[in-house]
Amino acid sequence: MLAVVCPGQGSQNPGMLSPWLELPGTVDLLDSFSAAAGTDLALHGTTSDADTIRDTAVAQPLIVSSSLLALRVILDGRAATDVVDVTAGHSVGELSAAAVAGALDDAGAVGLVSHRARAMAEAAAAAPSGMSAVVGGDPDEVMAAIEAAGLFPANVNGGGQIVAAGDPERLTAFAADAPARTRVIPLQVAGAFHTPFMDSARSAFAQVAEGWLATDPRLPLLSNADGATYDSLAPGSHGHGTAADVLTRLAAQVTAPVRWDLCQATLAERGVTGILELAPGGVLTGLAKRALKGVESVAVKSPDDIEAARDLVARHSTVAEAAA
């Protein structure tokens, strides 16, 4: 069984789109994404420096565009519903996953995430805040220590990693008195995402998302809220939830913790045997190697990984096997 997973913010790196744009059709595809985003993604994906693409308003549409561009190259004209058994995305990657599942079209996902990115950048600029990864330790003790420090567990990633977020002074104090057997690593992000610090962004984004063009998912899509699928038996639906539910949860996700640990638990429960992480890949397959031992994975970082990705798809997709 094949899972396609989509990375979140922080996975971007300078020049990451340059090798992709040498492939047929990719320039036109990226042009359509740039038009949807209202920004020059080709420029940011080829020549912009690390500081420029660290900007939330740039990073989020750039990451979603990279993931979807890689997906279309790998599938080479095939529909995701003919290949993918289940999909999920981490934080902003959940919008990429919504496109994989067919709830959003590719340009629509890039356009929608651009509204999210601008709203979150504005919220981050309104009040100082930050995030730190807490690696190791007992998860329950780490969660208790984060709460006691007046911080928020923004990402519960599994594999011994929880991200604390909130006031910078409290983060500094937390690092100075870290929980036993942990390392606290400050993250280079603009604000405390997935916490109440983003409440103004959630409100602004929810107004946009509510009226966004979307359709019911056509394959299982996991939610960051609880790792569950959007199951639905509504008349006329495909059984994988409704467009309205997906858009509502995408808006709520701006201030809610990312429970990637629960997403990984669902992948295990569903019997996933292969994980394909779309570009710019690496982080989620790293977490999977610790939490989903024995599950084969491929992280797509450049076109050099296309053949390995297609091979993984051929050997693990039960949808494709059933159709053959």
Contact by Cβ (8 Å): 103, 214: yes
Residue 133 and residue 154: Cα distance in Å, rounded?
10
Contact by Cβ (8 Å): 170, 132: no
Does the annotation count 96 as an active-site position?
no
Choosing from 91, 132, 223, 237, the catalytic residue is 91
Residue 292 and residue 277: Cα distance in Å, rounded?
14
Contact by Cβ (8 Å): 164, 154: yes
Does the annotation count 194 as an active-site position?
yes
Contact by Cβ (8 Å): 91, 113: no
Contact by Cβ (8 Å): 225, 252: yes
Choosing from 90, 194, 240, 316, the catalytic residue is 194
Catalytic residue ranges: 91, 194
